């Protein structure tokens, strides 16, 4: 529910969690629905589903995976980069 990893966290969490860097999430729209995953791998645990047109607050996009949070529940996870639009 809170977007943080040891190397990166949502700037809204500054002062509450320790991370190497903090970032303002970039608002994106999901272009192709599918599973939101716990890790940056196609076999990582599925923690939710996103639909085309859903909002995605992206904090990182590297190695083919976008990391951020989606939906009204703000589920934190990974989507394939190609499924996240501009």
pTM over 0.95, yes/no: no
Predicted local distance difference test score (pLDDT) of residue 4: 84
For residue range 30-58, what is the model confidence (pLDDT) as tens digits?
Answer: 999 999 999 999 999 999 999 999 999 99
Chain segment 3-37, per-residue pLDDT in tens: 989 999 999 999 999 999 999 999 999 999 999 99
Tell me the two tokens of residue 62.
Answer: 């590297």
Write a three-state SS string for the chain.
Answer: CCCECCCCEEHHHECCECCCCEECCEEEEECCCEEEECCCCCCCCEEEEECCCCEEEEEEEECCEEEEEECCCCEEEEEEHHHECC
Residue 1 confidence (pLDDT): 66
Domains, in order of start, for the chain: 25-83 (2.30.30.40)
Long-range contacts of 40-46, Cβ-Cβ distance < 8 Å, separation of 24 or more: 40/64, 40/65, 40/67, 40/78, 42/80, 44/78
């Amino acid at each position: 529910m809170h977007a943080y990893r040891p190397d990166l966290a949502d700037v809204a969490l500054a002062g509450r969690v320790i991370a190497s860097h903090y970032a303002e999430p970039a608002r994106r729209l999901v272009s192709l629905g599918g599973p939101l995953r716990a890790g940056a791998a196609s076999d990582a645990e599925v923690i939710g589903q996103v639909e085309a047109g859903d909002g995605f607050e992206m904090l990182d996009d590297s190695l083919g995976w976008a990391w951020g949070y989606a939906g009204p529940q703000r589920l934190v996870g990974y989507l394939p980069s190609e499924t996240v639009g501009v």
